[in-house]
Amino acid sequence: MNAREESDEILRVKDLVIDFAGRHRGQIIRAVDGVGFSVQQGETFGIIGESGSGKTTVGRCLVCLIPPTRGQVLHFAQDPFALSASELRRHRRSFQIIFQDPNSALDPRMTILETVREPLDVAGTGTPDERRRKALAMLERVALAPELAHRYPHEISGGQKQRANIARALVLEPRLIVCDEVVAALDVSIQADMLNLFADLQREFALTYVFISHDLRVVAHMSDRVAVMYFGKLVELGPAGALMTAPLHPYSQALLSAEPEPAPARLRNRQRIILKGEIPSALAPPSGCRFHTRCPLAVAECAQREPEWREVAPGRLVACHFVEPAKTVEVGRAGPPRAIGVENAIKS
């Protein structure tokens, strides 16, 4: 990837579509449907959405674990899926993913040290002794005590396992890490420590993160920009601060209003928006705006016409018929989003 140092843009996703085969013959599940965004080097790009909205599928495609059905994922402006199998294997070292389940990347038959050393052994970098020392140094960096290095995964806690996963991802000196619900399985008491570790490592190793979570507080805490995903599509994207204090899309507003303390001060006065129903079946996407079956502001037009994905203020994109650019500026300055008349729709 020679364009690497010439561009600040580490990742670009263009009109990404990802289909899976359903259980029955000919059935197609469109998990991701026309998603696009870009990520700059060194930033943390958050993706938020309910379970089943397609976040993990996007994350796996970003690190080339699954190919796009349509559209493109570019790494430093180049298509990694165009690489040969061996080139892609080498290239993947720079684009890592850490999953929610701390056991997912740990082999129960390997000690923690062996697990962290394994990617270096496969890559064949340095001498065996150098690889061992590098793995030990990384375990120390993620604050795993040296005596844990020789334990097996079942002998350590979930938090310690997740630290081992981080060390395993980091030994290959990646440029970008997709963090998929990385604290969701951990005890609440250690989540903050873990998030701080991610933040420290980002500074130290100049990492770029794509931080995926269903937990708004996690994404808000970590991210520079946030994309909100609903049923395979992005519905809103913007700077984390602006999106958290003045969300534009009714779905983002509902997610935020459902947050317990500590919600941003301006939202505490707001009444909760109760979303009706579950996320629809992946086999039967709603017509028009996919959110219309649950949107408190939906009108007949919403079921007929899909809203465009539009930039309504610098760096703020949204897909809703009723968010208007001119009023958006007003929204940013003063109070809740009157542009879409949310007060009238909020349920008490």
Ligand X SMILES: Nc1ncnc2c1ncn2[C@@H]1O[C@H](COP(=O)(O)OP(=O)(O)O)[C@@H](O)[C@H]1O
Q: Of the listed pieces 134-142, 255-263, 279-287, 288-296, which binds ligand SF4 according to CB under 6 A? A: 288-296
Give the H or E element holding residue 171: none
Among the listed residues 54, 80, 247, 337, the single contact to ligand X using CB under 6 A: 54
Instruction: Please choose which of ligand SF4, Mg ion, ligand X, none residue 57 contacts, taking the beta carbon within 5 to 8 angstroms, the exact cut-off set by kind.
Output: ligand X
Nearer to ligand SF4, 113 or 273 (CB): 273
Count of residues engaged in binding ligand X, rule: CB under 6 A: 12
Question: Beta strand 225-230 with 233-239: parallel, antiparallel or unpaired?
Answer: antiparallel
User: With binding defined as CB under 6 A, does residue 34 bind ligand X?
Assistant: no
Instruction: Please choose which of ligand X, Mg ion, ligand SF4, none residue 96 contacts, taking the beta carbon within 5 to 8 angstroms, the exact cut-off set by kind.
Output: none
Q: List all residues 6 or more positions away from 124 whose beta carbon is below 8 Å from its beta carbon.
A: none
User: With binding defined as CB under 6 A, does residue 97 bind ligand X?
Assistant: no
Residue 33's SS3 state is: strand
Looking at this protein, which amino acid is placed at residue 294? Answer: R
Give the H or E element holding residue 344: helix 342-345
Q: Of the listed pieces 54-62, 158-166, 248-256, 313-321, which binds ligand X according to CB under 6 A? A: 54-62
Tokens standing for residue 150: 């020789």
User: With binding defined as CB under 5 A, does residue 56 bind Mg ion?
Assistant: yes
Per 3-state DSSP, the chain is made up of helix, strand and coil in percentages (nearest 5) of: 40, 20, 40
User: With binding defined as CB under 6 A, does residue 20 bind ligand X?
Assistant: yes
**Interacting positions 251-270 with Mg ion (CB under 5 A):** none
User: With binding defined as CB under 6 A, does residue 100 bind ligand X?
Assistant: no
Instruction: Please choose which of Mg ion, ligand SF4, ligand X, none residue 295 contacts, taking the beta carbon within 5 to 8 angstroms, the exact cut-off set by kind.
Output: ligand SF4
User: With binding defined as CB under 6 A, does residue 159 bind ligand X?
Assistant: no
| DSSP structural state of residue 119 | H
> Based on the number of CB atoms within 10 Å of its own CB, is 232 exposed (0-12), middle (13-18) or buried (19 or more)?
buried
Give the closest residue to 99 by CA, choosing from 6, 181, 205. 181
| Interface positions with ligand SF4 (CB under 6 A) | 249-250, 289, 291-292, 295, 297-298, 302, 307, 320-322
Interface ranges with Mg ion (CB under 5 A): 56
